[in-house]
Amino acid sequence: TAKKNGKGTFVVADDQMIEKFDRYRQLEKDFIYHLENKEIFPYFQPKVELETEKIVGVEALARWIHPEEGFIPPGVFIPIAEKNEVIADLDFLIAESAIKSLKTWIEEGIVGDDFNLSFNISVKTLEGLDVYDHIENMLKKYGVPGNRVQIEITESIFINNIQKVLYEMNLLKERLGISIALDDFTAGHASLKGLGVLEIDTLKFDRSLLQIVKENVDKGQRIYSTLIDLSDDMGYISVAEGIEDAAESEFLKKEGVKYAQGYHFGRPMPENDLVAVLINERSELKLKKNTCSESE
Ligand code: C2E
Ligand code: MG
Ligand code: MG
Ligand code: MG
């Protein structure tokens, strides 16, 4: 437990460091165990149409509730999954579980024909596995059409095998009708390069852009607005991420952004809660319709 420091001398790791390291090792072991046991599952965050605030779809986000440590954020376990080369297992587990849920919602009439499900697939997964085959099998198994599904990929500077990524993406699009979103736009390291090579349908604007607006309203709004123009020019569908209040929502609506996600509209939530929200929304819509027809 000796560690070389910058000056070329050795320092002995103190108890706290060792404890932290041991705890992290244990967390890694626990993660792999829980993943194998399929004890990691999706939460669902609503995606709304800004104009109507109607829910048009959901994004599935991986959740790990550790029996002792409680909620461990993806920011902690995604790197563990990548480091231990089980990120594809995680991606497919969440994808299959979410597709299965979508199937149920369709069957039970909880969602309409245009309701769309998104999930995240790591670039590492696209590089290493036959994602098209896996997803095709899942869709077949549950009888869900590919055009109800969107795959979100976060561009990374670590793409080694861009040809494989493009190959899988094209199969998913052309053969299954799955749409592709570029996630975390401008939060990555080379997002403009990504736009140059990837065939995407949707651009998801990262929350960090709204933080720029918060820090410097005039400059921030001009930057955001210009990026929306870029997205429009390229023929992409724009989705704004991380809307936390009405002012942010108003700004994006004014800029012509069609779709949004954020705590302002709904947090990521367990399936049961989402279903309750969806049922409630549908009954409210019905109520409105009935009220209208009564006054006719
Ligand atoms: P992401 O795909 O960009 O997902 C959006 C993140 O923003 C989620 O964080 C969500 O909880 C958070 N968020 C939503 N609305 C707001 C808001 O109004 N304010 C703020 N501050 N945050 C908001 P989460 O769930 O912690 O996930 C973090 C990232 O982990 C995701 O970012 C995604 O890149 C990754 N991830 C999650 N699940 C999976 C998975 O199954 N596979 C892979 N490969 N990555 C995943
Ligand atoms: Mg995402
Ligand atoms: Mg995102
Ligand atoms: Mg993001």
What ipTM describes this predicted complex?
0.98
- CA triple 204-206-156, angle to 5 deg: 80
Q: How far is the CA of 19 from the centre of ligand 2 (A)?
A: 33
Q: Which two tokens stand for residue 248?
A: 């942010």
Please write the tens of the pLDDT for every residue from 183-198.
Answer: 999 887 666 788 888 8
Compute the mean pLDDT over every residue in the chain, rounded to the nearest whole number.
92
Residues in contact with ligand 1 by the CB-under-6-Å rule are 45, 61-62, 73-75, 78, 87, 90-91, 94, 120, 122, 152, 154, 183-184, 207, 241-244, 261-263, 268
Work out which ligand 1 atom sits closest to the CA atom of 268.
11
| Ligand 1, pocket-test mutation among 40, 47, 78, 186, most atoms within 8 A of CB | 78
Whose CA is closest to atom 25 on ligand 1?
A: 61
8 Å CB contact between 243 and 265? yes
Whose CA is closest to atom 15 on ligand 1?
A: 262
Please write the tens of the pLDDT for every residue from 133-158.
Answer: 999 999 999 999 999 999 999 877 67
For the entire predicted model, the pTM comes to 0.93
8 Å CB contact between 166 and 198? yes
